[in-house]
Structure 1
Amino acid sequence: MLNIDYGSGTREAVITWGESDDDAPWRLALLRALADEAEPPTFEGLREVRLPWWSFSAARGAFLAVAKGYQLRIGEHFQVSPNAANLLKRSTGAASSFAASSVECRVSDAEVADKLRAAGFKRILSAHQRRNVGRMAFMPAAATFSVPGAGKTTEALAYYLVRRSEKSRLLVIAPKNAFAAWDEQLAECFNDGGLGFVRLEGGRDRIAELLDASPKFMLVSYQQLMRVPDLIANAAVDERSFVFLDESHRIKSGAAKQTARSVLGLAHIPEGKLILSGTPMPQSVEDLVPQFQFLYPEVKVNSDSVVDFIRRVYVRTTKAELDLPELRHVRIRLMMPSAQKRLYELMRSEVARDAYQALSIGGKQTLRAIGRSVAKLLQFVSNPALLSSDLSFSHGDLLADTLHSGDGPKVEYVLRRARELVHSGSKVLIWSSFVRNVEYLAARLDDLGAVYIHGGVGTGDDEDDDTREGKIRRFKEDGNTMVLVANPAAASEGISLHSVCHHAIYLDRSFNAAHYLQSEDRIHRFGLPKDQLTTVEIVECESSIDETVDIRLRAKIGRMAEVLNDPGLRIEWQSADASDDEGYEASVMSEEDIRAFLSAATNGGEP
């Protein structure tokens, strides 16, 4: 007898069979179907396999096909436990709901307004928000991909109120730097001033204590969820709960990474689900697959089908719809001095040679190794001094010659340009992907009151000048703090600077399109005066890895614009003549990024 059960402690499908079934032809067919359609099952002994329930949900169609093909009858050849049967019934309902959805389906404005009014929702939704909430409220699982500043958090809370039942609770999984925004929006959206999010942090025992009180609204970071997925699943998430993923592209790596596995492990449980991201596919279309799997684990999806599927369940307010004022992109192209150029060409040829060999081997570890080598090129082009502390660097004499000529053209330009802007009365935001660059630029601009933020700067009270919040407050409120230097990996989310700063300079960029777009949006978002010009300067060295980064970012942003039907994402350069004038994540490089680098290297540096 084949048995299908649900292990609530591990949130897995548990499939067992008796010794008499060892030679049954359906057994191998079933195992092959599970291996082909879902995450690879784990064998426990000779007659038991386990796999995450969300993954089994996606494979249930293949399972039924095997059962039908071999004429297996429930009660005679297999049985399903009550818990598993209930989950399978819910999966079938969710799949049917998705199949019945279309872009025209929506809850009426009047019904949305009535439910929000009855729930004590006090914020007045904009026309775009009413459209989005009405569309999302029709579905048990949906996505809002609106641009920053369009009110995704407000839309999410309205969605919860429209679809919730009396005993529903809400768990938001978010980057820690987004916690304050959720607290603020909850306070602004509800008449009940006593409502607030309980932050699930402080270690396992403390989180267990907090969950024992059955809070109505909960916040947990992606990192914390990885440490206590069992506590969250058992106490915070049930069939009456709603689970929202803020900055949902954080799970783009899929089940291969623990962050995504922890999130996907909850996917089959909640009553309602929502994902929120302004940049849902920072690398490629494949980034959408795990996000859709969280929403509808019971619907089989792959990179070929995910665009069509996600279009049926997402809403987006574009910058064009918000009628934002002009964002001007200026490309600053500089020449490397001869010594830096000679060393760069040598390093590039070595990295290209290693990359060709590594790509023939394949594998994620190989890609990461290439990414680290390419990161050294990005470091060297941005600031040659970053390699001076690398004891493994094999061209010390050439590096010394390079450093003898100064900081390098990019650092020199950024320092000079920042001073020009400050002296004209403008506050300046400077971005670099490298921690040492962030600290170095802030130190060099200390006389302008420069402060910096990177991953090593802790969160805390905004009255503490050494915290992230304190530095942001100083930049926004202190007339003597005219420069903020930041790392996009640490500061591209959860910060609004558009009220005080209208000029950003990128010393360097990584291949991560989400970091770039979100960092841009810190100063170009809803709320700007109609006549306010916002300027972004991108500083590049000619015939260098900078140009490959630009090509790849344009390709990724262009593809995202196509998928999201948002032509406003595309970048239009305005030229500027400047000829007179370990924070980076190597793992964000895709195989396509590496091949683009190799193509440029083969053509002598010109992409």
Structure 2
Amino acid sequence: MDKLIISSEKNKVYLQGNIYKILNKRHLHHISRVFNGEIESNKITIGNLQDDELIISKLSDFLKRKNISYDLDQESDDRLKDLYQEEKNFREFSMKAKSIWNNVINLNEFSDFQNVLHKNMERKLYPLQLLSAFHLAYSQNACNFSVPGAGKTSIVYGAFSYLNSLEKDHPKFVDKILVIGPLSAFGPWESEFEECFGTEIDAKRISGVNLNNQRKKTYFFSRNPSDLTLISYQGVINQKENIEYFLKNNNVMVVLDEAHKIKNTSGGQIAESILSIAPYCKGRVVLTGTPAPNGYRDLYNLFKFIWPKKDVIRFSPIQLDDMTKSITDARINVLIDNLSPYFVRIKKSDLGLPEKIEHPPIIVEMDERQKWIYETIEKKYIESFKNEESDYNDTFLSKVKKAKLIRLLQAATNPKLLNKPIIDEFGNDFSFRDIDIIDQKFIQEVLSYVEDKIVPAKFLKAYEIIKNIIDNKEKVIVWAVFINTILEFQEFLISKGVNCKILYGKTPIESEDMAEDIETRESIIRDFHDENSDFSVIIANPFAVAESISLHKACHNALYLERNFDAARFIQSKDRIHRYGLDPNIETNYFYLMANNSIDETINTKLIEKENLIIRVTESQDIPLFLNLEDDTENDIKALIKDYERRSKKPS
């Protein structure tokens, strides 16, 4: 068989042999374009080898992918031989990593790993957690795309426990963890450490107004930094140089939590900052349950971080975009196979969770005034939706339509919310005067609803359900969409003698030098888990806390006061109380309040439909795509119009 001979001298690589017989025109064009190869007779010259390792990696990968045989010339310099051998070693390493996740393992190595974890960890990992941790400990650089509730934090701590047990001069030894993630994740990383190892963690949060840049620099340059350091993605931008020093002078495993935040391949500050520190990490871990929310391009930076000097993804961002457009693209299977050694994924069905109880929606009848307000606003908006049906691609009109949906949601729960501009709830994007009904009678009805301090029907029904739950010595989390719903419902429950706490965007997160008497997200969650807690109810907003809290050990009831069409947030909120670690005998209950003959009915139907689709996709794909759920406003509105027309035909 004809082979290409790879040789090098003076920072150049040569491909020699029967070039025109071994390589076709497409091969030659690729080598010329990608590697700047100069073709002459039976030799191709590739110069400018400033990054030898990456060029050799890409070149050997290309030749292998095209089934083109190649070898090293006996006279090649030692440097190229070393690089060639390194590529061979990396391929062997990758095959072993892939085999581990396929449960083909060296039993002696796995036994040693288990013994270390048994000795060092209080928490016992379940089999797939153990295998994931073993894969990470072997790989030292890996992605974990497991579903929420699979215990990704414990997996990281399991791998860390093993790597930390190695001799200090071992190339894989680590003794520090740097977690980069949302502020809301800091508390769980600290509490999970204590549960995993049975001891308090020496942790440092690089956040808070009282921690100025000089103090941050002093910490990163310290000779004795904490075992666990936590910083936000935004915080990395201004601390790149300090973090780089920290990584160079310590044995640090760097964890990207909710890592999809670095997906921007077009020069985003966060992504560029994270990728710039990647070469200095002793270990690299990517954690996200949604690795490709907008398509396969989102994977590019994740694997570039994991292996900054290896082209493991082997496709360009533009090619990844093309693959996203067609689920039948044959390259998708090649992509997944390329990446399979470097990621693990535990599905929901792998967790063996006890069945949850989805109670039928609880129909709530609006009082007459609320009903009139709702029907008036719904009729006007349905007419406008029909008239604007062809304009969904217009950005401004799209936002107006979303704002109108918000108004309908508010009217179905609590008409008092109509008295406040939407800007208070969702920011400037939704402050459109033309969405509101300028009608004196309508305005007067809303104002009188506020002035008469009418308690919405949903509040009364929710109180009835909550009272029954807490009378049975159980706890409940109440989910609501709107901030003012949360605040008003808390006030209502307290007036009924039900002590409760709230978690939403403005609930403070613990930070450096914060006064002890300030009630924070972490302190509320800690108190909620206490058997002797003086409250059994939390009211929360899924936009703020759906991703970051675990309540399954304390709470087995969730009540949805109001919902919107956002299926991803809805599922995340449900997962807060239905996670690995539940006693098989525990019943997890979900209660849904639904205003009769309203948008709530459409939301309920659409959420069931979307949830089933998400489950189907996540259970069937190694790297699931949810493109048709990203912004489904058009179909949501069509479903609402259809339901409205059906309801309008009902006899009154």
Is the pair's TM-score, using the shorter chain for normalization, greater than 0.5? Answer: yes
Match of 1:200 in 2: 206
Match of 1:475 in 2: 528
Matches within 5 A, 1:2-151: 65-67=33-35, 71=39, 78-81=47-50, 84-86=51-53, 100=95, 101=98, 104=102, 107-108=105-106, 110-115=108-113, 121-123=120-122, 124-139=124-139, 141-151=141-151
Q: Report the residue type matching 1:232 in the other structure.
A: I
Q: Distance in 2 between matches of 1:162 and 1:271?
A: 14
Q: Distance in 2 between matches of 1:484 and 1:85?
A: 57
SS of residue paired to 1:518: helix
Match of 1:518 in 2: 572
Percent identical among aligned pairs is: 26
Give CA-to-partner distance per residue, 1:266-320, whole Å, 9 cap, x none. 4565454322234556677776665455446732244353666666644344554
Q: Report the residue type matching 1:468 in the other structure.
A: R
Q: Report the residue type matching 1:385 in the other structure.
A: K
Deviates more, 1:103-112 or 1:71-80: 71-80
Matches within 5 A, 1:91-490: 100=95, 101=98, 104=102, 107-108=105-106, 110-115=108-113, 121-123=120-122, 124-139=124-139, 141-160=141-160, 165-166=172-173, 169-187=176-194, 189=196, 196-201=202-207, 202-213=211-222, 215=225, 217-233=228-244, 235-236=246-247, 241-251=252-262, 255=266, 258-266=269-277, 270-278=281-289, 280=291, 291=302, 294-295=305-306, 298=311, 299=313, 300=315, 301-302=320-321, 303=324, 305=332, 313-330=342-359, 331-334=361-364, 337-350=371-384, 353=387, 356-357=390-391, 359-361=392-394, 371-390=402-421, 392=433, 393-395=436-438, 397-401=441-445, 406-446=454-494, 447-460=497-510, 464=517, 466-477=519-530, 478=532, 480-490=534-544
Q: Report the residue type matching 1:171 in the other structure.
A: L
Instruction: Say if 1:170 and 1:217, in contact at 8 Å, map to a contact too.
Output: yes
Question: Do the aligned partners of residues 106 and 354 (structure 1) sit closer, same or farther apart at CA in structure 2, a change above 3 Å counting?
Answer: farther
SS of residue paired to 2:551: coil
Instruction: Say if 2:560 and 2:592, in contact at 8 Å, map to a contact too.
Output: yes
SS of residue paired to 1:430: strand
Give CA-to-partner distance per residue, 1:515-565, whole Å, 9 cap, x none. 323322222233333222111112334565445544554455445434442
SS of residue paired to 2:463: helix
SS of residue paired to 2:484: helix
Q: Distance in 1 between matches of 2:248 and 2:54?
A: 14
Match of 2:78 in 1: none
Question: Do the aligned partners of residues 443 and 175 (structure 1) sit closer, same or farther apart at CA in structure 2, a change above 3 Å counting?
Answer: same
Is 2:561 the counterpart of 1:528? no
Give CA-to-partner distance per residue, 1:479-504, whole Å, 9 cap, x none. 54132111122222443333332211
Unaligned runs of 5+ in 1: 1-60, 568-587
Q: Report the residue type matching 1:346 in the other structure.
A: K
Q: Distance in 2 between matches of 1:241 and 1:75?
A: 42
Q: Distance in 2 between matches of 1:454 and 1:136?
A: 34
Deviates more, 1:85-94 or 1:226-235: 85-94
Question: Do the aligned partners of residues 320 and 161 (structure 1) sit closer, same or farther apart at CA in structure 2, a change above 3 Å counting?
Answer: same
Aligned length: 521
Match of 2:638 in 1: 599
Q: Distance in 2 between matches of 1:524 and 1:68?
A: 54
SS of residue paired to 1:413: helix
RMSD of aligned residue pairs (Cα, Å): 4.4
Q: Report the residue type matching 1:152 in the other structure.
A: K
Deviation at 1:439, TM superposition (A): 1.1
Deviation at 1:431, TM superposition (A): 0.7
TM-score normalised according to structure 1 size: 0.71
Question: Do the aligned partners of residues 122 and 481 (structure 1) sit closer, same or farther apart at CA in structure 2, a change above 3 Å counting?
Answer: closer
Deviates more, 1:507-516 or 1:324-333: 507-516
Deviation at 1:456, TM superposition (A): 0.5
Q: Distance in 1 between matches of 2:52 and 2:266?
A: 25
Kindly name which structure, 1 or 2, has the bigger radius of gyration based on alpha carbons.
Answer: 2
Match of 2:16 in 1: none
Question: Do the aligned partners of residues 126 and 332 (structure 1) sit closer, same or farther apart at CA in structure 2, a change above 3 Å counting?
Answer: same
Out of 532, 554, 563, the position equivalent to 1:500 is 554
Match of 1:22 in 2: none
Q: Report the residue type matching 2:519 in the other structure.
A: D
Give CA-to-partner distance per residue, 1:15-64, whole Å, 9 cap, x none. xxxxxxxxxxxxxxxxxxxxxxxxxxxxxxxxxxxxxxxxxxxxxx9786
SS of residue paired to 1:532: coil
Deviation at 1:75, TM superposition (A): 12
Deviation at 1:79, TM superposition (A): 1.9
